[in-house]
Amino acid sequence: MLQYILRRTVVGLLMLLALTVLIFTLLRLTPGDPIDAYINPSVPMSAADLVALRTRLGLDQPLPVQYFAWLGAALTGDFGYSIQRGGEPVLPLVLGRIGPTILLMFSGLAISVVVGIAAGILAAVRRNQFADLSLSTAAFVGISSPAFLTALLGLYVFAVVLRWVPAGGMLTPGAPFSVGDLLAHLILPAALLSIGHGALIMRYMRSSLLEVLSQDYVRTARAKGVREFWVIVKHAVRNALLPVITVIGSTIGIAIGGAIFIESVFDWPGMGLLMINAVVRRDYPVIMCATLLTGACVILVNLLTDIAYAAVDPRIKVA
Amino acid sequence: MHRRNFGRLLAAAAFAFASATAMVSTPVLAQEEKTIVGGFDVGPGGFPGNFNPLTATAGFTWLNTYFEPLVIYTSDLSKLDSALASGFTASEDNLSYTFKLVDTKWHDGKPFTSADVKFTLELAKNADSGSIFAARLADIASIETPDEHTAVVKLSKPNSAFLSVLSQVMMLPEHALSTIDIKEVAKSQWWSTKPVGTGPFKFVKYVSDQYVEMAAYDGYRGGKPKVNRLINRYFANAAAAVSALSAGEIQFTFAEPDDAKTFKGNDNFRIIEGDSYVVNYIGFNHKAGIWSDLRVRQAVMHAIDRNAIISSLFGGAAKLANCGYVAPRLVPNGLDDYAYDPEKAKELLEEAGWDDINGDKAIPWLTYYNTPQVANVMAAIQAMLAQVGVNVVPRALDVPSYNGIVRSEKFEEFPLVYAGLQNGPNPASLNIGLNAAQIPPAGNNIMRVEMPQLTEALNTAMAETDPSKADAKWQQVCKEMNAQLPWSPMWVASRYGVVSSKLKDFFWTPAPAGGPFVSHPEKWDIAP
């Protein structure tokens, strides 16, 4: 197992290096650079001012020089300065966004896991009954609804019309910190983020449990007189969870993508909002650092999922 | 437990979840404190996340709540007024400007003096500081400080735009910034952690990507502000800010025209409509090889029913432009109004031999505007031009991509653009986009306009520092633009802000780059 983890870690590091090259190259292939993002096309700015700005930011250097300069500094923990934020150091800026994103992502994931598994179990044990049909319909709607639609609709209904929750942000500006305030801002984006994943988990849980419920050992357990609750919980659900865990792990990447979108709709100050702003403004140092950290997170979570998978099912051996 | 117990369990979980949600209520700010929260950096006049006025291409509405320039535009943007300079005079040869300074203090209690003026201008004209004003202040030869309340700025040559540029140069405290190496000034955390200004509000804190908080500056020379705090909340886009305004979380924001309309007739809000000071135009790339014949450019003008577009797609909230300006003082009589006449457009194209020049080949038509309104406008123009045989294909890009393309030499990629250029309050703003001397890489004449008579008219107007004579010179520029059509001028559209009716004595106007302009933030108030 240790050898497996080490090998996966080395591969992960190489993937990260490849990712930096890829992102760096792709960024430079896109039209426009930070200076172009700086120029408001409607506002006249002299070329001399722009040339000076380009030189100050080091953008006049050849691309390989820029890349290796960045890589060399990054290896020492210096990810440079944000171009569009008056020279704010990038690493603290990006690290400061990880917390809000994790909070949002895992709140959404927690809701989707709890609701998805519970709904999946209910749908399976009430197969073809009203509960199953209505939950399955809801799941299909959840899976098919584009995130932008649910997010904007949710924002409009719950924040603008009903005013149950704030329309965006993570905390009320200027108000002292309180958990209630944080939760008030968190509940809607997290709930909306959970819709797609919850529906997916529900579908997987339902089909997996249905398959398990028809197994001989479940029938044997029932024949032995074990109460139905324990048959389901101890015998069926535990085994049915195996493919669901894989789904949960593999959707972490999707959850990050979803969080990015939700963050931009709800002005949630996480990695997603930071990255969107950075891309729009061609803030290369921020994009590089944020992509690197996001990539590292995805690789790490995938590794942990594989380990968890092996731990849950001892039959799985790692080479 | 039977199967039905799962249903009960689920119902109980749902109830607990709903209860927890219901128990969470949005906290309100302390009642005794008056706080105005707004989206002051939303829209084209904003620059969220930028705290350094020397690197600001926009965002001056907010910056001006705590920093102040020497001179500032009046609230109607018609002329320059005094700010930190209580008065100013220019020498007869317009080579020397004397500024008498107000008696005031920085937020940290230190006095504001002419040394600060000298320090700021020297910092602003030095590109090492990251200042984007360096080239525009290059004509400053020296800054003298005969006493603490007088600063004399001497120019190497007359510059009609000098005072206008100066209105965006916020005065900075020498005592706080002089210890920082000039090359490190732009990267300094001072700007976003402890900036010190002379304005009515003083900086409290910046919560990254969320908001900036200000507190009333009791010692403000214009009187203590009526509200205790001013908060500038950041939004990913204008629509999100409008949602927050509708939800009652903020009291002001810029709004796109379609969003502004939704507040019409709502007593809880007031819509502010103002001149954008941006002339929209269809830009012909003069290096693309298909627009050289004046008759082709005239045909484009005659093919477009601008009045119908203004009436139906702008709801009448735009002024027809027949040159770069719409301000009556800058527009001479006798301009060709290029009335909608598709038959004439066809004749002109035929005379010019359009079939041989381009025919019905698709012409990429780039823009950096990404609003539904502009998409509709461009679709309407596309249909009108198609009727006369000009096949344009609109393509909306993000700003960096647009700038990257139009500043390149790949002329075939941008034969035509739909863009805007600031045309006021100082009419000299257009020079940078039309003067032959400003063709990239030298300048910002991205459409590569090379028209000697127009350039001469621009040079003459730029050199005129006497305000009483300047308008006539700019009228000549207008006349040349109208006759030669370096672009197809379209209109100057209105821009909007929406304010909660709770705000009292609040002033805002959609000035280019956010101004600055006289807005008296110290007088802004909010009803309980």
> Which distant-in-sequence residues (6+ apart) come within 8 Å of A27 by Cβ?
A282, A284, A287, A288
Q: What is the pLDDT of residue B353?
A: 97
Residue B304 to residue B384: CA distance in whole angstroms: 6
Considering only the beta carbons, identify the residue of A88, A166, A170 that sits closest to B26: A166
From first CA to last CA, the distance across chain B in angstroms is: 56
Residue B230 to residue B61: CA distance in whole angstroms: 13
**B27/B394: higher pLDDT:** B394
Q: What amino acid is encoded at A125 in this protein?
A: V
Q: What average pLDDT does chain A have?
A: 84
Q: What is the pLDDT of residue B32?
A: 66
Structure tokens at B183: 């090359």
Q: What is the pLDDT of residue A43?
A: 63
Report DSSP letters for A193-261, one per residue.
Answer: HHHHHHHHHHHHHHHHHHHHHTSHHHHHHHHTT--HHHIIIIIIIHHHHHHHHHHHHHTHHHHHHHHHH
Partners of A92 on chain B (C-beta within 8 Å) are none
Residue A43 to residue B136: CA distance in whole angstroms: 13
Do A34 and B400 make contact, defined as CB atoms within 8 angstroms?
yes
Q: What does DSSP say about strands B525-526 and B503-504: parallel, antiparallel, or unpaired?
A: antiparallel
Query: What are the tens digits of pLDDT across the range A131-155?
Result: 999 999 999 998 888 877 888 899 9
Residue in A with minimal Cα distance to B134: A49
Query: What are the tens digits of pLDDT across the range A223-236?
Result: 888 888 888 888 88
Structure tokens at A189: 């984006």
Q: What is the pLDDT of residue A312?
A: 67
Residue B300 to residue B342: CA distance in whole angstroms: 9
Do B420 and A36 make contact, defined as CB atoms within 8 angstroms?
no
Do A86 and B52 make contact, defined as CB atoms within 8 angstroms?
yes
Inter-residue contact B197 to B106 (CB < 8 Å): yes
Q: Does B16 contact chain A (CB < 8 Å)? A: no
Partners of A276 on chain B (C-beta within 8 Å) are 236
Q: Which residues are paired to B401 by β-bridges? A: none
Q: What is the pLDDT of residue B131?
A: 87
Residue B476 has pLDDT above 90, yes or no: yes
Q: What is the pLDDT of residue A319?
A: 47
Do A160 and B247 make contact, defined as CB atoms within 8 angstroms?
yes
Partners of B5 on chain A (C-beta within 8 Å) are 229
Partners of A51 on chain B (C-beta within 8 Å) are 441
Q: What is the pLDDT of residue B481?
A: 98
Percent of chain B predicted with pLDDT > 90: 76
> Cα dist. B182→B110, B117, B123, B125, B153 in Å?
22, 16, 8, 12, 21
Considering only the beta carbons, identify the residue of A33, A53, A184 that sits closest to B404: A33
> Which distant-in-sequence residues (6+ apart) come within 8 Å of B231 by Cβ?
A173, A174, B35, B36, B37, B38, B211, B212, B213, B214
Query: What are the tens digits of pLDDT across the range A239-263?
Result: 888 888 878 877 776 777 777 788 8
Q: What is the pLDDT of residue A317?
A: 55
Summarize the confidence of residues B269-295 as an average pLDDT. 95
For residue B112, how many other CB atoms are within 10 A of its CB?
Answer: 23
Inter-residue contact B366 to B414 (CB < 8 Å): yes
The pair phi, psi for residue B144, each rounded to 5°, is -110, 150
Residue B528 has pLDDT above 90, yes or no: no
> Which distant-in-sequence residues (6+ apart) come within 8 Å of B142 by Cβ?
B153, B154
Partners of A32 on chain B (C-beta within 8 Å) are 398-405
Chain B residues 178-197 within an 8 A CB cutoff of chain A: 183, 186-189, 191-192
% helix / strand / coil in chain B, to the nearest 5? 35, 20, 45
Do B191 and A168 make contact, defined as CB atoms within 8 angstroms?
no
Query: What are the tens digits of pLDDT across the range B419-466?
Result: 999 998 889 989 989 999 988 877 789 999 999 999 999 999 988 888
Best mutation target among B5, B6, B8, B164 (most A Cβ atoms within 10 Å) is B6
Residue B248 has pLDDT above 50, yes or no: yes
The pair phi, psi for residue A286, each rounded to 5°, is -70, -45
From first CA to last CA, the distance across chain A in angstroms is: 8
Q: What is the pLDDT confidence band of residue B269, given thresholds at 50, 70 and 90?
A: very high
Please tell me whether residue B457 adopts helix, strand or coil conformation: helix
Residue B29 has pLDDT above 50, yes or no: no
Q: What is the pLDDT confidence band of residue B6, given thresholds at 50, 70 and 90?
A: very low
Residue A88 has pLDDT above 60, yes or no: yes
Question: What's the pTM value of the predicted model, to 2 decimals?
Answer: 0.83
**B12/B23: higher pLDDT:** B12
Query: What are the tens digits of pLDDT across the range A182-209?
Result: 999 999 999 999 998 899 999 999 999 9
Partners of B128 on chain A (C-beta within 8 Å) are 56
Residue A241 to residue A247: CA distance in whole angstroms: 10
Summarize the confidence of residues B59-72 as an average pLDDT. 97
Looking at the complex, report in whole angstroms how far the Cα of residue A167 sits from the nearest Cα belonging to chain B: 5
Residue B91 to residue B162: CA distance in whole angstroms: 14
Q: What is the pLDDT of residue A40?
A: 67
Q: Does B437 contact chain A (CB < 8 Å)? A: no
Query: What are the tens digits of pLDDT across the range B163-216?
Result: 999 999 999 999 999 999 998 898 888 999 999 999 999 999 998 888 999 999
Partners of A266 on chain B (C-beta within 8 Å) are 240
Inter-residue contact B297 to B355 (CB < 8 Å): no
Q: Does B354 contact chain A (CB < 8 Å)? A: no
Best mutation target among B24, B183, B214, B230 (most A Cβ atoms within 10 Å) is B24
Residue B19 has pLDDT above 50, yes or no: no
Looking at the complex, report in whole angstroms how far the Cα of residue A132 sits from the nearest Cα belonging to chain B: 11
> How does DSSP classify residue B127?
G
Question: Would you give the distance in Å from CA B74 to the centre of its chain?
Answer: 16
Q: What is the pLDDT of residue A147?
A: 79
Q: What's the farthest any 2 CA atoms get from each other in chain B?
A: 98
Residue A210 to residue A189: CA distance in whole angstroms: 32
B3-12: long-range contacts, CB 8 A cutoff, minimum separation 24: B3/A125, B3/A126, B3/A228, B3/A232, B5/A229, B6/A118, B6/A121, B6/A122, B6/A125, B6/A232, B7/A122, B7/A126, B7/A131, B9/A118, B10/A118, B10/A119, B10/A122
Chain B residues 238-257 within an 8 A CB cutoff of chain A: 240, 243-244, 246-249
Q: What is the pLDDT of residue A176?
A: 87
Structure tokens at A273: 């909002």
Considering only the beta carbons, identify the residue of A30, A121, A229 that sits closest to B401: A30
Answer left, alpha or beta for residue B78, where phi above 0 means left and psi between -120 and 50 means alpha: alpha
Looking at the complex, report in whole angstroms how far the Cα of residue B292 sits from the nearest Cα belonging to chain A: 24
Best mutation target among A226, A267, A273 (most B Cβ atoms within 10 Å) is A267
> Cα dist. B431→A168, B1, B152, B424 in Å?
42, 82, 27, 11
Looking at the complex, report in whole angstroms how far the Cα of residue B381 sits from the nearest Cα belonging to chain A: 21
Do B403 and A168 make contact, defined as CB atoms within 8 angstroms?
no
What number of C-beta contacts closer than 8 Å exist between A and B?
247
**B160/B348: higher pLDDT:** B348
Q: What is the pLDDT confidence band of residue B90, given thresholds at 50, 70 and 90?
A: very high
Q: What does DSSP say about strands B35-39 and B229-233: parallel, antiparallel, or unpaired?
A: parallel
> Cα dist. A260→A113, A199, A256, B20, B220 in Å?
20, 19, 6, 26, 42
Residue B477 to residue B95: CA distance in whole angstroms: 25
Q: What average pLDDT does chain B have?
A: 91
Residue for token pair 């590569």? B448
Do B1 and A229 make contact, defined as CB atoms within 8 angstroms?
yes
Considering only the beta carbons, identify the residue of B131, B402, B442 that sits closest to A41: B402
Do A175 and B50 make contact, defined as CB atoms within 8 angstroms?
no
Partners of B444 on chain A (C-beta within 8 Å) are 44-47
Considering only the beta carbons, identify the residue of B13, B398, B420 that sits closest to A118: B13
Inter-residue contact A10 to A260 (CB < 8 Å): no
Residue A227 to residue B525: CA distance in whole angstroms: 68
Q: What does DSSP say about strands B269-284 and B318-320: parallel, antiparallel, or unpaired?
A: unpaired
Residue A264 to residue A147: CA distance in whole angstroms: 12
Do B136 and A122 make contact, defined as CB atoms within 8 angstroms?
no
Do B443 and A277 make contact, defined as CB atoms within 8 angstroms?
no
For residue B139, how many other CB atoms are within 10 A of its CB?
Answer: 18
Residue in A with minimal Cα distance to B9: A118
Residue in A with minimal Cα distance to B399: A37
Considering only the beta carbons, identify the residue of A86, A122, A183 that sits closest to B50: A86
Partners of B419 on chain A (C-beta within 8 Å) are 41-42
> Which distant-in-sequence residues (6+ apart) come within 8 Å of A96 by Cβ?
B208
Q: What is the pLDDT of residue B416?
A: 97
Residue B244 to residue A223: CA distance in whole angstroms: 60
Q: Does B367 contact chain A (CB < 8 Å)? A: no
Q: What is the pLDDT of residue B31?
A: 47
Inter-residue contact B107 to B218 (CB < 8 Å): no
Residue B30 has pLDDT above 50, yes or no: no
